[in-house]
Structure formats: C-alpha cells, structure tokens
Amino acid sequence: MSWDELDLDGEALQKTKAETEAKSREISTQFHQCFRTDAGQFVLAKLKEATVDKPVLDANSSQFGAGIREGQNNLFRQIMAEITKAEQE
C-alpha cells in the first residue's frame, strides 16, 4: 500500500472511484435496456403485483415472514432505482 492510496484526493483513489462509477452506469444501463422493452414492462408489472402491491403484514404474519416480504419489495425497488438512475444519466 502506498501513501497515494490513503490520500482521499490521490490518483489511485480517483481511478478506483472512476472505475466504480463506470461499473455502476453499466449496471443501470443494462437494467434500463432490459426493462424498458415491452416484455420488460410486462415483467415489471407482474413483479409489482406480486410484491409492492400486496401488504407486507396480515393477521397471520410473523416477523420473519414480514422480513421476507419486505425483501421481495426491495428487489422490485432496486430494479426501479437502477432504471431511474439510467434515465437520469
């Protein structure tokens, strides 16, 4: 490890940041390309129906079950966040 790697404005860190941002843009772009097609929109609608459109809790829910449901919801939200990110770039 060098001092440059510890420097918050150092060349090594700036290079790592640029590589991370490029990877993040690539991921968002791929999500956008996949889910902005007619087939992708259909799949998103079905995922939304199966996740965020349903309540997380009901009379028979356990804490564990609620956690699983919220995890399912978060997957849908993550997909939507990636699409939105790509559209804002």
This prediction has a pTM of 0.80
Average pLDDT over residues 21-37: 96
pLDDT, one tens digit per residue, over 31-84 is 999 999 999 999 999 999 999 999 999 889 899 999 999 999 999 999 999 999
Alpha helices in the chain (DSSP H): 3-6, 11-35, 38-50, 63-88
Q: What angle do CA 84, 44, 22 make, to 5 degrees?
A: 35
* Model pLDDT, residue 30: 97
10 pLDDT exceeds 90?
A: no
